[in-house]
Amino acid sequence: MAYSEKVMEHFANPRNVGELEDANGIGEVGNSKCGDIMKMYIKIENGIIEKVSFKTFGCGAAIATSSMATELIKGKSISEALKLTNKAVMEALDGLPPVKVHCSVLAEQAIKAAISDYYTRQGIDPKAIVGEINECCHDHNADGSCSVCG
């Protein structure tokens, strides 16, 4: 499995790592059965993501996608951050092996979860703004349960 230079750079030297003490939005996705857990911290001021950081337990691709995702939303408006897709994260990293695409999905979902938490803390129902957040990165059964996690 070959990784791009950008993936290796973000894995070896991740940006924005750690807890954000003054975060006003925190989102966590993934689970231990999957093997990857991402926690995103955001500090929003006047509708702009002023600070963002992450803590990720997972493989190198999970760390790299978390790092790149934080770089892509820092300084952006909430609406711009909500438009970030896993495809954009992968493109910014010059691609991922097919078996690691799920890491970029988790990064997208972690950002949405943090923004959802921000709205909840403001007393605003986030579902109409953020949409549904998948806690994992696998295909789901007709009943919504995960085909891998259970």
Which residue in 103, 136, 137, 149 is the catalytic one? 103
Q: Is residue 137 among the annotated active site residues?
A: no
> Which residue type does 109 have?
Q
H helices of the chain, where? 5-12, 60-73, 78-82, 86-92, 101-121, 127-130
d(CA 91, CA 146): 27
d(CA 100, CA 40): 19
> Which residue type does 102 have?
H
Q: Is residue 34 among the annotated active site residues?
A: yes
d(CA 143, CA 79): 30
Catalytic center residues: 34, 103
